[in-house]
Amino acid sequence: MAEKISGAVITRLPRYYRYLGELLEEGIDRISSRELSGRMKVTASQIRQDLNNFGGFGQQGYGYNVANLYDEIGKILGIGLTQNMIVIGAGHLGQAIANYTNYGKRGFVIKALFDINPDLAGYSVNSAPVYPLSKLEDYLKENDVKIAAICIPKTHSGEVAKRLTAAGIKAIWNFSHLDLDVPDDVIVENVHLSESLMKLSYKLNYESEKK
Amino acid sequence: MAEKISGAVITRLPRYYRYLGELLEEGIDRISSRELSGRMKVTASQIRQDLNNFGGFGQQGYGYNVANLYDEIGKILGIGLTQNMIVIGAGHLGQAIANYTNYGKRGFVIKALFDINPDLAGYSVNSAPVYPLSKLEDYLKENDVKIAAICIPKTHSGEVAKRLTAAGIKAIWNFSHLDLDVPDDVIVENVHLSESLMKLSYKLNYESEKK
DNA sequence: TCCATATTGTTAAAAATTTTACAAAAATTA
DNA sequence: TAATTTTTGTAAAATTTTTAACAATATGGA
Ligand SMILES: NC(=O)c1ccc[n+]([C@@H]2O[C@H](COP(=O)([O-])OP(=O)(O)OC[C@H]3O[C@@H](n4cnc5c(N)ncnc54)[C@H](O)[C@@H]3O)[C@@H](O)[C@H]2O)c1
Ligand SMILES: NC(=O)c1ccc[n+]([C@@H]2O[C@H](COP(=O)([O-])OP(=O)(O)OC[C@H]3O[C@@H](n4cnc5c(N)ncnc54)[C@H](O)[C@@H]3O)[C@@H](O)[C@H]2O)c1
């Protein structure tokens, strides 16, 4: 990969991966960009253009081998690497994430949760223990974890993000309503649910009648 | 508003709204696009361009009045309208959403949850009752609800989406891993958490070292 | 009141993204 | 085996989005 891949392309990759997974389940072993285009409601051209950022996975006159393309995109996305995670905040959202078993199937393993509330320490969620936040640095010294999900109020998330990156965390999945300020080599992926709901509200009130 | 506003602009609006809310809390009553640009890490030009899709809210030589701009963007986003919602699936995610009180502050009121599991019926989450799914149509006949959040597995979400739109729901906040097929006048806003995590994984494995 | 400064709204340019078009190559059919 | 069909990979065109530039206008101080 010579040049930097655009964000728009990366955002679409997991969706390709999902559709290829569905095709596999349906027992379909080859697909053309045109057929996939019909299912995914994107242009065939965009599919070919996107995939060719990473290599020529198809074959003229044949199309793409589903299993092969699924694997290749999986590799690009780092699926199957076994990537350990921790979750900060064992409240509703933190527990929902820790309980969701599909992440594990993709290699994302939640090893522990951390909460400031001492009453939660000692519990475990989906066999991942909940530790007091004070144990964070010790834990990260002893365990190979690069990804942390932040599921605590914005009043605390800035401070916690600082501690996480200081302790070696390289990627933050951020559910709090704050744009985290992290070192250059740390990835932040935001999930701002309230903003998603406002977008829905905008569309509901201004766009739906026009269609 | 003559022309259709681009999706990219709409996606940025809630973020402007969030920053303006923070400015209000800090007691700052005016701000220029350049100052806001510094805080938000976007270009001043983009801020002015975005806002001017909706009207000239600023004043030369002065900038923008924070309270006024906050209100205007709020109106654009439909905040303060009191929009009733229901949540389908009273599992971990559905409960996390129903318990989160900040939506209510913005006018998004969760009135009820529905679950296929009869054991959950009778419980309530944050004072919203959980009903059996079989009561869905009756409930929507008697209550003015346009927005539904879908927090159930993809195996059921297609079918439920059909029932929802048949019963008059106009916007779906979709947390399931399925691209819903809905009538043209129905809005779907997807929150695909797994895809967000895969994107993080991609960036962690291919981009972080390069920065 | 006048002048220097600040800052918007908007037009134009640049950059990025998406779509179109098609030659090259493989698969399928006759 | 040869001809026809399918379909990719990619170059070029079109479109969309972002950034830059600046005239118009308001502010605030002298
Ligand atoms: N639930 C949602 O729908 C939703 C929507 C949008 C954003 N969020 C964000 O996610 C956060 C968590 O949501 P939730 O529904 O799980 O809230 P919650 O109140 O159920 O859980 C928050 C948990 O974080 C813990 N906590 C607080 N400060 C901490 C700290 N410094 N370190 C470790 N743990 C700490 C609390 O003890 C609590 O257990 C919210 O504050 C918000 O920022 C949630
Ligand atoms: N929790 C996460 O982190 C996460 C991540 C990505 C996607 N999701 C999506 O959200 C869904 C819900 O996640 P969760 O963690 O809350 O799972 P969960 O198992 O805790 O809850 C699912 C709930 O949905 C109910 N349900 C099932 N079919 C139903 C139907 N037809 N109608 C009404 N209720 C029904 C179940 O009884 C259960 O209470 C997942 O299946 C998945 O599609 C969740």
| Residue A17 Cα to ligand 1 middle (Å) | 30
Average pLDDT, chain B: 94
pLDDT classification of A2: cutoffs 50, 70, 90:
low
Domain that holds residue B146: 83-195
A208 within domain boundaries: no
A205 within domain boundaries: no
Whether B63 and B16 share a structural domain: yes
| Residue B33 Cα to ligand 2 middle (Å) | 42
Measured from the CB, is residue A200 less than 6 Å from ligand 1? no
If one compares B6 and A208, the residue with the highest pLDDT of the two is: B6
Radius of gyration of chain B (CA): 20
| CATH of residue A11 | 1.10.10.10
CB A154 within 8 A of CB A176: yes
Number of domains chain A contains: 2
A210 within domain boundaries: no
* B59 bridge partner residues: B63
Say what the pLDDT of residue A130 is: 98
Beta-carbon contacts of residue A51 (< 8 Å; ≥ 6 apart): A16, A57, A58, A64, A69
Measured from the CB, is residue A89 less than 6 Å from ligand 1? yes
B100 within domain boundaries: yes
Beta-carbon contacts of residue A84 (< 8 Å; ≥ 6 apart): A109, A111, A143, A144, A145, A146, A147
Å from B52 (CA) to D15 (C1')? 21
Å from A91 (CA) to C14 (C1')? 47
DSSP 8-state symbol, A56: -
Q: Per CA to C1' distance, which residue is closest to D8?
A: A60
A200 within domain boundaries: no
- For the stretch B125-142, pLDDT in tens is 999 999 999 999 999 999
Say what the pLDDT of residue B185 is: 94
Burial degree of B20 (CB within 10 A; 0-12, 13-18, 19+): buried
| Residue A73 Cα to ligand 2 middle (Å) | 26
Mean pLDDT confidence for A152-158: 98
Whether A18 and A37 share a structural domain: yes
pLDDT classification of A207: cutoffs 50, 70, 90:
confident
Interface check A195 vs B, CB under 8 A? yes
| CATH of residue A116 | 3.40.50.720
Whether B169 and B190 share a structural domain: yes
Whether B191 and B136 share a structural domain: yes
Nearest CA to ligand 1 atom 17: A91
Whether A48 and A144 share a structural domain: no
